[in-house]
Amino acid sequence: MQRLHVSDPGFERSFTRIVADRRESDSKIAREVADILAQVKTQGDTAVAEYTARFDKYRLGGEESWLISPAACRQAFENLDDELRAALELAATRIRAYHGAQLPEDRDETDDAGIRLGAKWRAVDAAGLYVPGGRATYPSSLLMNAIPAKVAGVERLAVTTPTPRGETNPLVLAAAHLAGVDEVWRIGGAQAIAALAYGTETIAPVDVVTGPGNAWVAEGKRQLYGLVGIDMVAGPSEILVIADGDNDPDWIAADLLSQAEHDPAAQSILITDDAAFASLVEDCIDLQLAALDTGKTAKDSWREHGVIIVVDDLEQSLRLANRLAAEHVELAIAEPEQFLDGLRHAGSVFLGRHAPEAIGDYVAGPNHVLPTGRRARFASGLSVLDFMKRTSFIGLDEAGLAKIGPAAATLAHAEGLPAHARSVEMRLK
């Protein structure tokens, strides 16, 4: 864990290294994934089955061994205890409501020149959703991916999730039922991304692939972007907490560890204007790690990538936060609104002392699939728009063409494209 003070002589150099640290896949993973994609593209089911046997110790035979039935998903949902079922239903209701408000409106208008202009939004035909099944399984991620797709109007939702040694996670299956998923396939890794993108003898291809995964999954999505749409290339999780000394240090320690427990490569950063408070948080982290079931992972993350930065004035934290462009930013301060407008780059922002990031992971409503690795500078979290595309349309009559056609022909000639010009000029005559 690094501890820095903004007035240290070497602060700028150390902070720049933190900003530049990608913590993502290397060239070796890229080569391995390229080989997996090529094998699935050419060998289809055979390659997928071989990789599944190798990595998941599960043998795929007939289609019934590939596909988890809707009945099994429904049964898993019905078997949940009442409290857990109610929690999933609350999450689904809030996620659906928030994303329903994101639906864009079609446009159809006629401008002053008499030209009809507009656009229609349509959902993609099919989407593939990846749900992790290795280090941990996340029914919340299934809801966060599947519900926006359904709200957008996607007709076919295909989930891929690894089932090591054939074991399924009942929570994931229950979430699939609740979200209205159409297909759940027992495959994972880069081979699952390839199967969704290329299609195989058993699995029909999709138009968009979304969902979190390990470095191989993320690299598979990166390499297949263009053949299919993707949500983003996601790296290890990250959280930035901006906190004053009036917070409970145990709360802030828990917030930092909530991301550290995801992955040894995850990163948790605290910025505070109170050096004594920073020390208390550090002590609380040590105590909480000892009692945490995910303590080994969280300890590795905190030791290798954790950062505490002490500033002279909390106003300085905004400049640092905008350079970090973190996935999650907590503003655990008395007046968070005064910082919100100045925080230009963040995946999702949590306002106040009683808004821990974990609420956003489950039940708040906004999507928890968010840009990592400073991509919040140019990207947003998953939304219904990731499952939709816009088609523009243009309508002209003879009078409208007479008004704007000559300019189009002039520009076409200037670009050396006479056939373009002629297609307009013939109509003008």
Which are the catalytic amino acids?
327-328
Angle, vertex CA 274, rays to CA 273 and CA 280, nearest 5:
135
- C-beta of residue 270 within 8 angstroms of C-beta of residue 307: yes
Q: Which helix (H) or strand (E) holds 330?
A: strand 328-332
Within 21-81, where are the H helices?
27-43, 45-56, 63-66, 70-78
Three-state SS string across 93-131, please?
HHHHHHHHCCCCCCEEEECCCCCEEEEEEEECCEEEEEC
3-state secondary structure of 167: coil
Q: Are the beta carbons of 239 and 326 closer than 8 angstroms? A: yes
Q: How many helices (H) and strands (E) does the chain have?
A: 18, 15
Interacting residues of 85 by C-beta distance below 8 A, sequence separation 6+: 77, 174
Angle between helices 82-100 and 139-152 (to 10 degrees): 40
